[in-house]
Amino acid sequence: MPITDTELRDALTPIRELEPTDEEIQRVIAAAQELRVPRPHRGRPARAVAVVAATAAVVGGLAALPGGDATRPQDAHGILQAAAAVAGDQPAPGAYRYTRVRDVFVYAVQAGAERRRATEEQTSENWTSDAFAGRTVARQGTVQWDAPPTAAMLRYGTGAVVKAYDGEFRYGDGPLARVPFAAIPDDAAAAGRLLEDAIRDGRWLPNPNSHPHWAPGVVEDEVIHSAVLLLELGNLTGAQRQALFGVLSTRPGARALGDVTDAVGRHGVGVVLGGDRGGGLRVIIDPATGDILQSSETSPPPPATPPKLPAGVRKPPWPPPVWLLERTHVFLSTGSVAALGEKP
């Protein structure tokens, strides 16, 4: 005789009656708060893996933590796969992705024989919906010079402050300028193929003919940067974020940094992605949520000799007057909100 629904429901009643204790609830809340608040260093001194020593104080650098979670994957593929699994479990997004980001750009500025190093820092709040439409509010930022700049250097655009901004969110000039987020597949292989195809054919560029030819390695590099950018700022579903971490986990050359802290002392796991054309993109991931806490990158210095250009093309000044050395984006807060201006 078949077992009835009522019989099964009755038989499983003891499981239905399991209730958490107050102590368990308080323990969970305490653990969640502890994960939010940077813990003081214990044990041996942190081993700095700073991007560049001169700006380590600004960008925070990456420091190995004492101990770490032994059960957590230690290789880059495992770290990214674990992040994919966690990202897939996140709740459905609201109308906007909210991010509060501290951006740090370090430039080499050259005027004649004189050279300076300028560090720009600014914090912005961003609300992004489909196709990167949304809003940004940024307070005035700072510029720090390693020595007083000359008048010519200030004319290059790196002045004394970074101006405040309140207006449309603008993903200005990259290969994902107009990407419809619904087009990002839930499957990692399909997402990887789509990104590569879209970058090659320039379908999402403001001007589709901007990059008709790609040098070797550039498309691969753009796939990595695009996937990371979407994970940082794209208002995507958990399944799409899972797919994008899956894309990153299949990229060749990814390296694990292990347990690290970001510029504001939060704990995460680090990976370096790509790097064929520079130092690689360093990404710190919150293992509990799959959110990217920080991404940073260094650029190799300009070559000693200018690039060979076709006859008739005017030669640029060399070395270039302004050269981006480093960039760091610290995602101080991320979340999903229902309306512009709302905060998680």
**C-beta of 214: minimal distance to other proteins in Å?**
17
CA distances to 87, 143, 203, 248, 281 from 274, in Å: 22, 29, 23, 10, 6
**C-beta of 197: minimal distance to other proteins in Å?**
22
**C-beta of 30: minimal distance to other proteins in Å?**
10
Q: Which CB sits closer to other proteins, 99 or 110?
A: 99
Determine the length of the chain. Answer: 344
Which tokens sit at 173? 């000039």
CA distances to 108, 163, 250, 288, 322 from 146, in Å: 10, 20, 40, 38, 15
**C-beta of 1: minimal distance to other proteins in Å?**
8
Q: Which CB sits closer to other proteins, 46 or 123?
A: 123
**C-beta of 336: minimal distance to other proteins in Å?**
5
Strand ranges (E), 87-158: 96-111, 114-128, 134-138, 141-145
Give yes or no for a contact between 258 and 68, defined as CB atoms under 8 angstroms apart: yes
CA distances to 108, 140, 154, 161 from 148, in Å: 13, 20, 10, 14
Please provide residue 307's backbone torsions phi and psi, each rounded to the nearest 5 degrees.
-65, 150
Helix (H, G, I), strand (E, B) or coil at 235: coil
**C-beta of 8: minimal distance to other proteins in Å?**
5
Q: Which CB sits closer to other proteins, 33 or 305?
A: 33
Q: Which CB sits closer to other proteins, 167 or 307?
A: 167
Q: Which CB sits closer to other proteins, 21 or 305?
A: 21
Q: Which CB sits closer to other proteins, 261 or 334?
A: 334
